[in-house]
Structure 1
């Protein structure tokens, strides 16, 4: 039951943060490219890498923080289903260039952001 509460609380925070970030990006950059989901997914990759690195040396309670931060916050914050839906939307709108940029950029930069988060976390752990 404790694990469910940790994941649920983290997921609620992550979902609210995603909503605010996507809304801000949509208002700031009202273009055909889905900048909101792109930014959320990349920053989520950076965060999950950072959280992984920080909880790796988490002492007696690493599962608590992993459940809250990684499964909860990052799980609620990032959204692969929106990525998939927006990718199909770009294809349907015949915006093939944006589609290719979005998919390749999300995957490549997402992996790099996760790696960067892991390296960043090592700066804070002995």
Structure 2
């Protein structure tokens, strides 16, 4: 519940201030979620904390359904270059964010 409330509130705030024509709010939410997941994954949490934070909070914080909805919406409004950019940015930088978080934590553990 807390993850979805955080996602919605933060996403609305970001979108209002940074992007009317591009789903920057969803990108930022998903990339920060990937970064934090990488950090927590490398931290070797016990199973209960992992389920609570990674599966629970981050699972609700990040959103695949909104990512798909935003991408399809861009295609349907003839913003194909924006749609392709959005999808590629989310996937490529999501992987890089996860790897960065994992690497940073691995350096300190």
Aligned to 1:52: 41
* TM-score under structure 2 length normalisation: 0.95
> 4+ residue runs of structure 1 moved beyond 3 angstroms?
none
Aligned to 2:85: 101
Cα deviation for residue 83 of structure 1 reads 0.4
Q: State how many pairs are aligned.
A: 109
Structure 2: stretches of 5+ with no match in the other structure: none
Structure 1: stretches of 5+ with no match in the other structure: 1-11
Contact 2:19 2:25 in 1 (8 A): no
- RMSD, matched Cα: 1.0
Contact 2:71 2:87 in 1 (8 A): yes
- Between the aligned partners of 1:43 and 1:35, the Cα distance in structure 2 is 12
Secondary structure of residue in 1 paired with 2:22: coil
Aligned to 1:89: 73
Cα deviation for residue 123 of structure 1 reads 3.3
